[in-house]
Chains A and B, each alone.
Chain A
């Protein structure tokens, strides 16, 4: 078999094999069951709670959970602005990098608290080491916050009637210390021993074999890269992210980093099965997600390995495939696999430049973010999927003339209204902002000439990709876009902020309202949700919402690009 194809099969199989036990472990954590690691983590967590004056056993209802989440995020946002705008004169800045301007700091701060990690700066020159460490902190706590709200929804889905849904801080701290921390330590140490730097020394200088003087950026990179991959963050230490040879030194680390991208998102699905004691439901959800994932992955791998038809027209060889924007040590198959894993999960790290993917490869990456729930971000990916489940339950209930019930709770008008608004929010915000920027560019191409790095359909694709990535809280980009200007900083900042918190508030509200309702035991009239038929129904809902709302925009971008050649 082709060694590139066997490489990506290995990555996927390895991820699933690791995700099943990890999911069981995460399930135990959120249930409050005992685990083998309690002897280390109980004292650690208690120290966190004691120092913060938090009573971790005080139960909250869904509204209190959201207030706790939003309050702590406000604190994080203010803290990020403070550091990013002052890091120039603060310590840990051996390269003398400047502080950020207000609009870049606004964008970057929101980007990291919202788990997006869209970067309108380059790590080598745009932040100090202190800035990097602060951003790394947000990579832990924004991921932990996403997992915590997911735990709230899991808890609310249990078969009982209650308003008490656990303690937000408890879920949050547990997610950070017991899941993200140990995994990050393992990944970071493996990276360090493969050559990724972890030093506080500044740039080094040498004279190359040919006699050029070269400066080399370094820094405390390994610690950040680990959590960047695991927490579906994606904000790299260096400008080109995991395409950088220090950030991702070889094929082995590429496997490690790529497995880390989808490990926790998949594990969360299995955690759900464990918590609800409904393994079959978990497998149905995993199945739907995996079918969607493979449908995006296969054409991308095929197109990238086949190579660019425009390059082929120049009559040179493409033995590997399309190599523009890719690294030889990964090759097109592993680059395509990364492009899809990173976009279906809201991670957003890259090991190849997405702007230079073949037209259809770039489209699959965009579609992954447009759906945003084929695995999805840590925690929040399941919340997006939950919305689609609610809609599918309602529609299929109406189709067969049964009361729409999900896990013993009746779904009524109020929940449906919330679910519909949240499902439509994502396409609405992406398309309206893309329309706005396209309008500006089309009416004054001279003023905005610096925006686009490519003409025509592909240029439109750069703008569409940027807002899709912002709204999906992904953070990757068609990086040719000249996005380091106030217009993009501010509009993307607003999109990231709203598209982080509305899709959290909606599902938590629905789950909270449902949890309070009377539990109706399963009967012959109940619509079964852990069947293949229902899985197909959910998939259809996702396909219709994504296809119908985004198809026109994709037709103007990558599809036209593909056919025009």
Chain B
């Protein structure tokens, strides 16, 4: 063992310099050419910072499209899922109350049309997206609250649908922040 201690110490020191130092700085240097210098892409409205492009935020007002329930309260200083098992009775009560709340705010929606993503917690607590179905069932409420025709809002939703990768792989989705910013522009 003795003969290995010194090489082990020295080799560790070299790997520290190389992998913690050189590799990190290299990736960091190239990141300076990336969108917003690798500091996270932001979105501004009227020159005011309103959010990060990739991170979801809380929308609970009737005039906005709601985002998914978040176990982290959309606090992006942390991140968390509910970590509830799908058979946990307390959890199922929680989901039931979310369904009830949704129905109160969206009286025209039939219960069997509610897609599960809008009443269950996302994995990160910062999910920026909702499914297309989850957006569509909110159109009636938003049209009434904002006094805009349903057709107009439906047309807006259609423009915001992000197709699967190359049209072939993955899910269809809608970015809630982007959609709501466009919604505010609608007159």
The answer to whether A320 and B165 touch across the interface, beta carbons within 8 angstroms, is no
Contact check: which of A199, A204, A322 meets B38 at CB < 8 Å? Answer: A199
CA distance A6 to B58 in the complex (A): 32
The answer to whether A353 and B14 touch across the interface, beta carbons within 8 angstroms, is no
The answer to whether A356 and B169 touch across the interface, beta carbons within 8 angstroms, is no
In the complex, A555 has a CB within 8 A of chain B:
no
Min Cβ gap A11→B in Å is 9
In the complex, B101 has a CB within 8 A of chain A:
no
Chain B residues numbered 35-86 whose CB sits less than 8 Å from any CB in chain A: 35, 37-42, 45, 48-61, 64, 68, 74-86
Chain B 86-100 interface mask (CB, 8 Å, partner A; 1/0): 111111100110010
Chain B 143-172 interface mask (CB, 8 Å, partner A; 1/0): 000000000000000000000110111110
Chain A 15-52 interface mask (CB, 8 Å, partner B; 1/0): 00000000000000000000000000000000010011
In the complex, A201 has a CB within 8 A of chain B:
yes
The answer to whether B76 and A222 touch across the interface, beta carbons within 8 angstroms, is no
The answer to whether A210 and B59 touch across the interface, beta carbons within 8 angstroms, is yes
Shortest Cβ distance from A254 into B: residue? B170
In the complex, B1 has a CB within 8 A of chain A:
yes
In the complex, B24 has a CB within 8 A of chain A:
yes
Shortest Cβ distance from B183 into A: residue? A209
The answer to whether B19 and A358 touch across the interface, beta carbons within 8 angstroms, is no
Shortest Cβ distance from A71 into B: residue? B4
Chain A contacts for B142, CB-based, 8 A: none
Number of A residues with CB within 8 Å of any CB on chain B: 119
Min Cβ gap B179→A in Å is 11
In the complex, A325 has a CB within 8 A of chain B:
yes
Min Cβ gap A323→B in Å is 4
The answer to whether A454 and B85 touch across the interface, beta carbons within 8 angstroms, is yes
CA distance A252 to B162 in the complex (A): 13
Contact check: which of A124, A198, A215, A311 meets B86 at CB < 8 Å? Answer: A311
Min Cβ gap B96→A in Å is 6
Please, could you name 20 A-B residue pairs with CB atoms under 8 Å apart, sorted by A?
A3-B169, A51-B10, A72-B11, A136-B19, A140-B19, A181-B19, A195-B53, A199-B31, A209-B51, A209-B59, A216-B55, A218-B39, A222-B31, A246-B52, A325-B121, A325-B123, A329-B129, A350-B123, A478-B83, A480-B83
Interface residues, chain A, CB within 8 Å of chain B? 3-4, 6-7, 10, 48, 51-54, 67-68, 70-72, 74-76, 79, 122, 124-125, 133-134, 136-137, 140-141, 169, 173, 176, 181, 184-185, 188-189, 192-193, 195-201, 203-204, 206-210, 212, 214-218, 220, 222-223, 238-240, 243-246, 249-252, 254-255, 307-308, 310-311, 314-320, 322-331, 334-335, 350-353, 355-359, 453-458, 461, 478-480, 561, 564-565
Interface residues, chain B, CB within 8 Å of chain A? 1, 4-16, 18-20, 23-24, 26-28, 30-31, 34-35, 37-42, 45, 48-61, 64, 68, 74-92, 95-96, 99, 111-117, 119-131, 133, 164-165, 167-171, 173, 177, 180-181, 184
